Amino acid sequence: MTVAPSAELTILSVLPRLLDTNGDAANARVLAQRARWAGIAARVVDVHTTADLPDTVDLVVIGSGTDTDLDAARAALLPLADAFGSWLAGGVPTLAVGTGWELLSAGIDLPGGTRVDGLGLVAGHATLLAARATDDIAVDASDARLIGFENHARGYTGAAHPLGRVLAGTGNGTGDEGLVQGSFIGTHLHGPVLARNPQLADRMLSSACAARGLAQAASAHTVLVDGTAKAARNQVAVRLGLSSE
């Protein structure tokens, strides 16, 4: 995929029909709306096959799905492996949640000792947890505290650079949560995560805008929405026994 100069950001939502169990495909719409509020045109392109790929790619989002659809999602992703590899090598900001993240890893461990091979594009692999994690989660991501909802039966091993340290919840099952590898962010956080944690969305947008040479304007819309998101995070934080922001 080429990354040519453009005044419009193109945001890909990969396999939204298969990988949107927890509403994670909405992360693409969050990025697009925040870009528009910042005075930058943006469009969301749903990608189901290589025929849907646009010439220009600025940001990529892939969500989570059920194990029932695991084989179908893997089969649909395989033809997109070269494109994903190109985006990651080119520094395109990419967010992968749950199953989407696992499928981009080395593989996924399943009950009974079986394993599904991943695309091997990011470090580590998904491993079985002793019990399913289904609860709110808080993560110290150094520059921000992230709040989300986790709903997964697998943790993650081999994340040399995690997204953050778990303050409450399970995450990778190692005391850490997620994976950061260059421009790639993998996480178990649903919500969708970018709506609940707009600071993470702005991290991705800033990177994409810098690559385009685009300036983000201040917006009253973001101030209002960010205040609402902060209040929602604080409600969860207090329930988890943490202080408010």
pLDDT at 3: 38
94 has a pLDDT exceeding 60:
yes
How many other C-beta atoms lie within 10 A of the C-beta of residue 132? 12
6 has a pLDDT exceeding 60:
no
What's the topology of domain 8-239? Answer: Rossmann fold (3.40.50)
Is the backbone of residue 15 left (phi > 0), alpha (psi -120 to 50) or beta?
left
pLDDT at 61: 98
1 has a pLDDT exceeding 70:
no
**Using CA atoms, how far apart are residues 186 and 73, in angstroms rounded to an integer?**
17
Looking at residues 154-162, what average pLDDT do you find?
Answer: 97
On whether the pTM is more than 0.75, the answer is yes
pLDDT at 86: 98
pLDDT at 2: 38
